[in-house]
Amino acid sequence: MKVVAITGGAQGIGRGIALRFAKAGYAVSIADRAADAGAELLDLLAGQGARASFAVTDVADPKSVEAWLAQTIRDLECPTVLVNNAGFMIRKPFLELPLEDFDAVIATNLRGTFLCSQLVAREMAKRDIHGAIVNIASTRAFMSEPDTEGYTASKGGIVALTHGMAMSLALQRIRVNSISPGWIETRDWQYAARSGTPQHSRADREQHAVGRVGTPEDIAEACLYLAEAGFVTGQNLIVDGGMSVKMVYAE
């Protein structure tokens, strides 16, 4: 059985990934801090006829991740694909950013990616599963706005961690790749009580070479490709509608 484990899977991009993999025939295990959103997604997956499991999980906490992985193996089977999607941003002026805020972002976004990858890869290796790990990075690994240092550093670290793990896990035939999303609209992919209707101006759309803002489905399709692309490892796939390569002139 094909099993995908997704961190931060209850809302936004993670929710899109979960629904797309379920449609492709995967059993789905979700880790997220949001209990209500996780329960709602389980209902949606059940409506698709998918096997699914959910656990409230803090990806920066080894015991929490261990409990989620044990539940996944018990309820489904060992993951054949791991998508490290959990992450968040704290935006504060650089000169006033408390160290604990910087550390908190690094702990979830970067340490969480390492921790979940290590624990899942150990279980894959025990069972001789030639699996795949997909890490969600960001175009902010390569370009920045002011006052986003923790997030930017974590996403840059994920890109580097990806090619490092790809080489370290090559003997186990576990492939590791990352995706760097650009502007992905997620307001309509949140828990129902917090969902909103996106509104994008013409200028918003025209920042992108493809003429629109991205959606969680765009990232989900890229994840599914990397999960099953057997000759691709150690790569970072930019999925941003051409935004990061389009020259923009101030008027």
Contacts of 104 by beta carbon, 8 Å cutoff, 6+ apart: 90, 150
Backbone angles phi, psi at 170, to 5 degrees: -60, -40
Q: 26, 151, 225, 249: which one is catalytic?
A: 151
Is 151 among the catalytic positions? yes
Phi, psi dihedrals of residue 179, rounded to the nearest 5°? -125, 135
Q: Which residue numbers are catalytic?
A: 151
